[in-house]
C-alpha cells in the first residue's frame, strides 16, 4: 500500500462507504476553520500517546492535515508502529478544498 492517497481517491472511498478511519492530525483551532465530516481529531503532538489506545493497527487509516506535511510524518510513524494500512492524504485539506469540495474553507 502506498504511503499517500489522493483527495479524489478518498472521496471515492467515502462515496462507496469503504471502511476506513479519517484521522485529522491538525490542531483544534484548525478544525474550527475547516473540516471533513466524520474525521477523528488527534493533533500530531498527541498521536504517540493516544495511537495505541485509540487506533486499530488492522484498520485502513487515512491521515490528513493542512497541506500534507504533518500527515506524512504521522503516517511514517504509524507504519513504524505496525499500522501498515496508514496513508497520508496528499496535499491535505487544502487540496481537498481545491479539488474535491470547494465548500470546505481554505485557510
According to the model, what pLDDT value does residue 49 have?
98
Q: What is the pLDDT of residues 42-101, one digit of tens each?
A: 999 999 999 999 999 999 999 999 999 999 999 999 999 999 999 999 999 999 999 999
Q: How far apart are CA 85 and CA 64, in angstroms?
A: 14
Residues 21-32, mean pLDDT to the nearest whole number:
97
72 backbone dihedrals φ, ψ, rounded to 5°: -70, -40
Domain 4-99 has CATH 3.40.50.720: no
Q: Cite the active site residues.
A: 65
What SS3 string covers 24-84?
ECCCHHHHHHCCCCCCEECCHHHHHHHHHHHCCCCCCEEEECCCCHHHHHHHHHHHHCCCC
Answer yes or no: pTM beyond 0.85. Answer: yes
Contact 67, 45 (CB under 8 A): no
Q: How far apart are CA 6 and CA 98, in angstroms?
A: 12
Amino acid at each position: 500500500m502506498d504511503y499517500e492517497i489522493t483527495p479524489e481517491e478518498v472521496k471515492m472511498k467515502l462515496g462507496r462507504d469503504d471502511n476506513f478511519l479519517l484521522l485529522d492530525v491538525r490542531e483544534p483551532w484548525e478544525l474550527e476553520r475547516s473540516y471533513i465530516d466524520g474525521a477523528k481529531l488527534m493533533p500530531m503532538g498527541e498521536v504517540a500517546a493516544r495511537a495505541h489506545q485509540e487506533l486499530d493497527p488492522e484498520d485502513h487509516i487515512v491521515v490528513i492535515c493542512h497541506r500534507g506535511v504533518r500527515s506524512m510524518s504521522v503516517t511514517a510513524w504509524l507504519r513504524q508502529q505496525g499500522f501498515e494500512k496508514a496513508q497520508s492524504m496528499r496535499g491535505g485539506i487544502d487540496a481537498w478544498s481545491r479539488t474535491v469540495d470547494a465548500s470546505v474553507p481554505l485557510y
